[in-house]
Structure 1
């Protein structure tokens, strides 16, 4: 049987799980803010996490931040990342992450530098999901590997939502009928190695349910097989209900 569970209050049950979630958020983050004393810069899409777990940021050329770092090559800094659902749901915020440490420029900067680079040496990190905050050990963050679907999740969810509503409808057969009472609309809201999360939209409030894969994905190429397994199980549910 395909496992069905109400989406837990927080997926960050341990610091290792939280580290993976935070690394995954950074892979596809569109909303990323870098703060140093007195200065704030939006750097979404200008960042990457190095193999040793340091956050590398391309600084906006001729910005206040870059000008600040021409005079002070090392400074305390905070990075805030927001995980937003790519599908049009009422509450799009799925989680928030905060990283603090020392921001160090990779080379001496001059006023005319184009796209200078700085690196955040991580001191502390934390992940907040559904009001629950988990502290992430810097070493755990450094060794964590992002979810295999992190880079493609947004495109996959939007494609499923926009072009395959009948597939979502079929998957709803896996949800107990009592949980579907009063539901006005169902949308896919999250996809990771563990499964697909559907959001059941109610007149007052929403409910998330996770359709779990048989085994956690190790590679994006395995996604099709797991989705097909969910659909086969959904077909079985329809057959049993029709009896």
Structure 2
């Protein structure tokens, strides 16, 4: 099992990575703080006095502006592959009143910030429903069905993936190496060093192994998708603490 393209796009645009905003017939791009709400709609937190705020003012007679959010994955560790780039687009409109207050709660759930207290004065929230989504990786671009995008869920481990990988490498290196050798059917030492986990998602581990200059990557799937970091910790406990697991 592995993440679907729709899940990858939802993960990339969830709000944990930096983003650029492109607006139709406007200068840009613009850096922006953003998240997605439970329905996958994009929320932009925009300073009232900014180039982006000025660009988001609709033309006369309109209430929305054609908007594209552009997010590039940042590999969580050296040697880790990128998940690629996501582009989602729709028609952004400014939120006011109760709508803005409910959207601020959705924003805070993903990315808490004190600036949300100033929505309506120093900041405005803009929102758009995704009507087109694309996923770009390894030079190829794939269109994602908007309904599949809306139904997908962001990966619950993506926000803490870098910390998880660092912990495995720094504090459990010997145990992880032994476990991975067993799963990969390898024995003894390797010229390229022990196998190591380079990415983690809710479906499994991506492992780098092999000789220098000929490293390979292999996915090791979990028996079932994990729901959160706590469930991942329980799943990995036998690998990290084999003696304790054997006494259980």
Which string of whole-angstrom CA distances, capped at 9 and with x for unpartnered residues, describes residues 102-160 of structure 1? 1222249xxx9522211122121022344443321112212222223233323212222
More strand per residue: 1
TM-score when normalising by structure 2 = 0.72
Aligned to 1:81: 71
Backbone CA RMSD of aligned residues:
3.1
d(CA) in 1 for partners of 2:211 and 2:21? 36
Please point out which of 22, 41, 58 is paired with 2:9.
22
* 1:74-223 correspondence to structure 2 within 5 Å: 74-89=64-79, 92-107=81-96, 113-173=121-181, 174-177=183-186, 182-184=191-193, 186-200=195-209, 202-204=211-213, 206-223=215-232
- Preserved CA contact (<8 Å) 1:29 1:83: no
- Preserved CA contact (<8 Å) 1:94 1:129: yes
d(CA) in 2 for partners of 1:27 and 1:161? 27
- Preserved CA contact (<8 Å) 2:177 2:196: no
Which string of whole-angstrom CA distances, capped at 9 and with x for unpartnered residues, describes residues 168-215 of structure 1? 32233122439x855246442211121111223753364221222122
Which string of whole-angstrom CA distances, capped at 9 and with x for unpartnered residues, describes residues 63-95 of structure 1? 211122246452212111112221122x65232
Give the superposition deviation at 1:97.
0.9
- Preserved CA contact (<8 Å) 2:190 2:210: no
Aligned to 2:21: 34
d(CA) in 2 for partners of 1:184 and 1:137? 42
d(CA) in 1 for partners of 2:15 and 2:58? 32
Larger RCO (CA within 8 A; separation ≥ 6): 1
d(CA) in 2 for partners of 1:142 and 1:32? 19
SS at match of 1:171: helix
Count of residues paired in the alignment: 213
Structure 2, unaligned runs of 5 or more: 98-119, 243-248
- Preserved CA contact (<8 Å) 2:58 2:64: no
Give the superposition deviation at 1:98.
0.9
TM-score when normalising by structure 1 = 0.73
d(CA) in 1 for partners of 2:225 and 2:198? 18
Q: Give the direction of change, closer, same or farther, for the CA distance of 1:129–1:52 in structure 2 (3 Å limit).
A: same
- Preserved CA contact (<8 Å) 2:88 2:132: yes
Give the superposition deviation at 1:48.
1.5
